[in-house]
Structure 1
Amino acid sequence: MKEWKMLAVGNSFTQDSLYYLHDLAKAGDIELKAVNLYIGGCSLERHWNNVESDAKEYMYEENGESTERYVSINEMLVEDDWDYIITQQASHDSGIKETYFPYLEQLVEHFKSNVPNAECLLQKTWAYEQDSNHEEFPRYHCNQQQMYNQLSECYEEAAKRMGLRLIPSGDVIQSVRKKKPFRYELGEKSLCRDGFHMDMIYGRYLLSAVIYSFLFEKDIRENTFFPECAEREGIEVIKQCVYKMLNP
């Protein structure tokens, strides 16, 4: 059986996204090595600067587990035969167009020149919770819908310009926020744990479910993995929303 290999050049939002991915893949009979290069809040500009300086500033995380190993992007690109390389903008810059280029273009060209057989993808991140106290939320007038609209426009334009597939994580999150039991404005669960990072169970499961379904074209409704301490109602709502968003 082929082992799929994924490298994410990311930040804490990528950390949330990959947390349950290996578990879902295993339950779906897929062998997967999912590596995240983690620097909290890391932007596309900083990623590119780190490429140029060959900075060993990324904590190496594999299959949802952190290590004490610190690596550079350049060494990781040639460490394995990657099938996928995923990156994304830092959340605070996600809706600001001028923060994407030229850095995304430089990064993708660098990825492709070093790993020509890998598919490069963008992950569309998400808007903060409605009452988030994130210090950068005022850039979006502390308005979740405005942040979502702006980041959607930026990501979609960037993906089109670069010819990359866009993983629609932010879209699914915005859709699930309208469903019981995740209607936060009605006093139900928030998908965030602190106003911007994803909830440790439902939010992280949602993100991994999106990536699993998107990359491997699997029906998430048939996947048997179930996070510990989760309630079935919430997981089933997420499964249905993921399936519908990826199979319109």
Structure 2
Amino acid sequence: MHVLFPKRLWVLVLIFVTQLSYAQSGQGTSRRAQTDTLRVFLIGNSFSQNAARYLPQLAAQGGHPLVIGRAELGGCSLERHWTHAAAFEANPNDPNGSPYKDKSLRQLLSEGTWDLITIQQNSMNSPDPGTYQPYARQLYDYVKAIQPQAEVVLHQTWAYRSDADGYGQVSPGTFAQSERDMWEKSRAAYHATAQNLGVRVIPVGDAFWAVSSDPAWGYRQDPNYDFKAPKYPSLPNQANSLHVGYRWTNDQKWGFDSHHANEAGCYLGSLVWYTFLFGDSPQKLTFVPEPVPAVLAAQLKKVAEQTVSQVRK
């Protein structure tokens, strides 16, 4: 016997199903009540450390309880993370299988239940799509076997600064030629991998490029500084830089880091993560790291919100 439902009831059911699907996809606002604790686990390297540096402060100020777990190794690629995991599965007593402060990835992932787990490529290999597979898939399957309810997402890393002396690998023996080239190719590789895995992307790399490529806000090398003969303790003007850039070490040696994020870059990355994770606008947040000028901080909030909004469309 078939039961006939009124047309109005079918419409209400359809609306409910559509809204439920939308919320579960993460494309709407936060997927959980604001009072629920979000447990996020990062499988990465120094770039994930940079990008999430201020996430705890932002989450606390926004009223979003947060727990962060980490499996991070300097410069670690998808391949290396997977190699360590496979070594542990083959022999739990193999030290190569427990590189995260003498713990394995399985042990760390098994410490409670995680809601969202991130993976990423190391920056040097990020423009080379051939370095993502099969390792991204292997890590994805491994993570889901341990935490089947967790959402796995890709953290899209950023390109090196415009005055870097080299950029990431595009293919074996071939390298990106500029900041834009590295961003475009790494973005393509991340999104191709995300499509293959059926996962979302945290668009930190896009946010970095949005600032770097902006004529009004992007970093430009100081034309008045003598880079060939720098004199301690003077530094070039590096206004609006998102990367560490030029610096003097504690022993008064001249240093340059065009790869890692400085305080402004870490703040931007954390704003993107906050907006992505909680579906919440960062505009109401007042926390700003002390070295970041207020006017730049306001612009970074706008960029973070716009970048995440564009990815959701």
Structure 2 length-normalised TM: 0.72
Which of 134, 138, 149 aligns to 1:102? It is 134
> For this pair of structures, how many residues does the alignment match?
237
Question: Is 1:9 aligned to residue 43 of structure 2?
Answer: yes
Cα deviation, residue 222, structure 1: 1.0
Question: Could you say what secondary structure the match of 1:9 adopts?
Answer: strand
Aligned to 2:307: 245
Going from structure 1 to structure 2, the CA distance change for 1:56 and 1:182 (only over 3 Å counts) comes to farther
Distance 1:135 1:224 in 2: 35
Instruction: Read off the aligned partner of 2:75 and give its amino acid letter.
Output: G
Distance 1:21 1:181 in 2: 27
Distance 2:295 2:56 in 1: 22
Distance 1:156 1:41 in 2: 21
Instruction: Read off the aligned partner of 2:124 and give its amino acid letter.
Output: H
Which of 273, 280, 286 aligns to 1:218? It is 280
Aligned to 1:77: 109
Instruction: Read off the aligned partner of 1:217 and give its amino acid letter.
Output: G
Q: How does 1:1-248 map to 2 (within 5 A)?
A: 1-54=35-88, 55-58=97-100, 69-133=101-165, 139-179=174-214, 182-185=217-220, 187=222, 188-193=239-244, 194-199=257-262, 201-248=263-310
Name the stretch that deviates more: 48-57 or 185-194.
185-194
Going from structure 1 to structure 2, the CA distance change for 1:203 and 1:181 (only over 3 Å counts) comes to farther
Show CA shifts across 1:67-89 (max 9, x none).
xx442211011112101100100
Cα deviation, residue 100, structure 1: 0.5
> Is residue 114–residue 147 contact of structure 2 (8 Å, CA) maintained in 1?
yes
Cα deviation, residue 53, structure 1: 1.1
State the Cα RMSD in Å. 1.8
Instruction: Read off the aligned partner of 1:73 and give its amino acid letter.
Output: L
Going from structure 1 to structure 2, the CA distance change for 1:223 and 1:180 (only over 3 Å counts) comes to farther
Going from structure 1 to structure 2, the CA distance change for 1:181 and 1:229 (only over 3 Å counts) comes to farther
Cα deviation, residue 103, structure 1: 0.5
Aligned to 1:63: none
Instruction: Read off the aligned partner of 1:195 and give its amino acid letter.
Output: S
Show CA shifts across 1:131-172 (max 9, x none).
223585684344111111110111111000100001111001
Cα deviation, residue 247, structure 1: 2.5
> Is residue 85–residue 121 contact of structure 1 (8 Å, CA) maintained in 2?
yes
- Percent identity, aligned pairs only, is 32
Name the stretch that deviates more: 88-97 or 222-231.
222-231
Structure 1 length-normalised TM: 0.90
Distance 1:197 1:143 in 2: 16
- Higher relative contact order (Cα pairs below 8 Å, separated by 6+ residues): 1
> Is residue 24–residue 212 contact of structure 1 (8 Å, CA) maintained in 2?
yes
Instruction: Read off the aligned partner of 2:294 and give its amino acid letter.
Output: R
